[in-house]
Amino acid sequence: MKNVLKITLVALTTLLLANCNRSSSGKSSLTGLSFNDPKNGNFIRGKSFKGEKPPLGMVTIEGGSFTMGQVQDDVMFDWNTTPKKLHVRSFFMDEAEVTNSEYFLYVQYIKQAFPPSEEKYKHIYNSVLPDTLVWRKSLGNTDILSENYFRHPAYADYPVVGVSWLQANEYCKWRTNAVNLKTLIDKGHIKNIFENDTISNFFDTDVFLTDDSKLFNGDTTVYKRGVRTARRKGDPKPSKDAFQGRKITKADGILQQKFRLPTEAEWEFAAKANVENREYNNIRGRKKYAWDGKYSRDKSKRFRGDQLANFKQGEGDYSGLSGWSSDGADIPIRIKSYPPNGFGLYDMSGNVAEWTADVYRPIIDNEANDFNYFRGNIFTKKMISEDGKVVIAGNTEDAEIEYDTLPNGKIVPKQLPGTIKYIPITKDDTTLRRNFMVSDNSNIKDGDLYSSRFYEDDEEQFASRPSMYNSPHKPTSIIDSITGRKKFINDNKNRTTLISDRTRVYKGGSWADREYWLDPAQRRFLPEYLATNYIGFRCVTDKIGPMTNEKRKARNPSR
């Protein structure tokens, strides 16, 4: 009898769930029209959303409010970390920094997709390589690190360094495409292109969603199956080799959200992990480091006295005495070598400092947005040709690749061939808008007409755009009349600051920094095209849907 009741209960539950699913994804509850039904227009609705799991290598950071800035040891008195209360949305973050082996995978992929042996691609491969010469010292014996740190297996799980902000940003874009390509292969939507040497491995998510015929050298036989749809009565059954179903769209929820660098607010929120010292809806005290407590040494019995992070402990003291190393490393160390913080993130204080997405400014304006704050938005739109089609860079064999020369002389592609061209939005796109007015918001409310009466035009090159910072300009190029070669002339004028719209924030302290910089609220800056041996990065991606997938609990369960 008990078994009969159990079977009946299971059957009823299954029927109920099936009815719920049918009502939520089968038919519109407001119009009665069916979804995904060829008899009813085949209108799309994706499967019911049940929350998402963290992507590989990431942990969930539940958002909330926190006080950004507010360091305990502001010895500089520069008002660079003025306290301000902000709200950060939930997101996913890499539990550790991107390692040499992971970045080397990216380098190898780019080399396959854009062989440097081909003349038009010769600068693409070089543009993604880390600068291994960051290890050199004029008065130091460090060439062994220049030659081995990036490629030798001994350092495979060490955080990658020598990567500029621009390179880190490109890695995030590639990772989005690599993850989506793997997902589509695993789900059987496209063939495994890695098994076919005649097909280009290059994949771009935006192109896939816009015009997938522009991928894989135009070979549409790569696509095996789309989203299954019901056939109309009498329609012939498609052959095995024919593409079945409809093409995948963003509404299907199959593709990964874009990976990117964390904003400064997100990074600091994740590093502080105030979830550790929360009491109900209040925060107890202030955290000085990424871990709980006001000291940098471990208090546990087993590791008492050991440092909780990798940092420079004093002049000439990078790891302690021989035989008694208190932090275990004199350069960056293998990821996850120290305990994680309250969110499960490793090395948010020490090891290597990390790039964030923000353009640097000494202060955040008092009237700044307090919801998911970020300085550096550049709003764009897809470039449309005269015949009404989306323009794709380097889409033909004879198309030239556009390159840019950075202020340090390095040549980089403006965008990878096969990707969609984007252009800045125009005034027509912002007509009667109240939430944004221009495309480039990097210097919004910072020395421009909207925020100050005191501003000056910064040289003739930027005469049309006021700027409050006197930073170096991009090199000018000339053709040598004798050799015919292109030469670059650097800006040689006296400059008062490095701050510009191309200067980015980095956070977290490193193996080469003193304890002062381990405070997550501390902030420094560097031009986006430069790299060092103490700055790495990690990626984040947005969490869609609710802030948390956990069910709300009764605050007073006894009542």
CB 128 within 8 A of CB 150: no
Angle between helices 100-113 and 165-186 (to 10 degrees): 80
150 with 93: CB under 8 angstroms? Answer: no
The structural domain count of the chain equals 2
Cα radius of gyration rounded to whole Å, the chain:
27
In-domain check, residue 118 = yes
**Residue 325 sits in the same domain as residue 374:** yes
Range of the domain at 139: 58-226+237-542
Same domain, 28 and 63: no
pLDDT at site 527: 93
The pLDDT value given to residue 459:
43
Q: What is the pLDDT of residue 543?
A: 94
In a domain, 75, yes or no: yes
The pLDDT assigned to 5 comes to: 58
Residue found by looking up tokens 């049918």 in the block: 22
Query: Is residue 520 one of the residues assigned to a domain?
Result: yes
Q: Are residues 144 and 18 in the same domain?
A: no
Pairing of strands 320-321, 476-479: unpaired
Q: Quick one: 28 and 102 in the same domain?
A: no
Model pLDDT, residue 468: 56
Residue 53 lies in a domain: no
CATH of the domain at 193: 3.90.1580.10
Indicate if 415 and 450 belong to the same structural domain: yes
Query: What's the CA gap between 299 and 285, in Å, rounded?
Result: 19
* pLDDT for the residue numbered 22: 41
In a domain, 411, yes or no: yes
Dist. CA 100–CA 493, nearest whole Å: 38
Give the separation between CA 212 and CA 221, rounded to whole angstroms: 11
Mark whether 15 and 143 lie in a shared domain: no
Instruction: Say whether both 11 and 128 belong to one domain.
Output: no
Tell me what pLDDT residue 49 has. Answer: 73
Contacts of 430 (CB under 8 A, 6+ apart): 436, 437, 438
β-strand partners of 43? 35
Residues of the chain falling short of pLDDT 50 = 17-24, 452-466
Determine the Cα–Cα distance for residues 87 and 442; give it in Å rounded to an integer. Answer: 20
The answer to whether residues 23 and 163 belong to one domain is no
- The two tokens of residue 474 are 């991009």
Indicate the burial class of 120 (C-beta count within 10 angstroms; 0-12, 13-18, 19 or more). Answer: middle
Residue 120 lies in a domain: yes
In 10 A of CB 283, how many CB atoms? 16
Are 81 and 28 part of one and the same domain? Answer: no
Does residue 37 sit within a domain? no
Residues 353/534, Cβ–Cβ less than 8 Å: yes
One domain for residues 270 and 164: yes
Torsions phi, psi of 353, nearest 5? -70, 165
Regarding whether 412 and 268 lie in a shared domain, the answer is: yes
Beta-strand pair 535-536/353-359? parallel
Rounded to the nearest 5 degrees, what angle is found at the Cα of 371, between the Cα atoms of 369 and 376?
Answer: 60
- Eight-state DSSP code of residue 466: E
In a domain, 554, yes or no: no
Which class for 508: exposed (0-12), middle (13-18), buried (19 or more C-beta within 10 A)? buried
**Which residues are bridge partners to 259 per DSSP?**
541
Please tell me whether residues 12 and 160 are part of one structural domain: no
* Gap between the Cα atoms of 278 and 285, Å rounded: 9
Q: Where are the beta strands (DSSP E) in 17-147?
A: 58-61, 64-68, 84-88, 91-94
What are φ and ψ of residue 59, in 5° steps? -125, 160
Summarised one tens digit per residue, pLDDT across range 286-332 is 788 898 888 888 888 888 888 889 999 999 999 888 887 678 899 99
Taking the C-alpha atoms of residue 177 and residue 139, their distance in angstroms, rounded to an integer, is 43
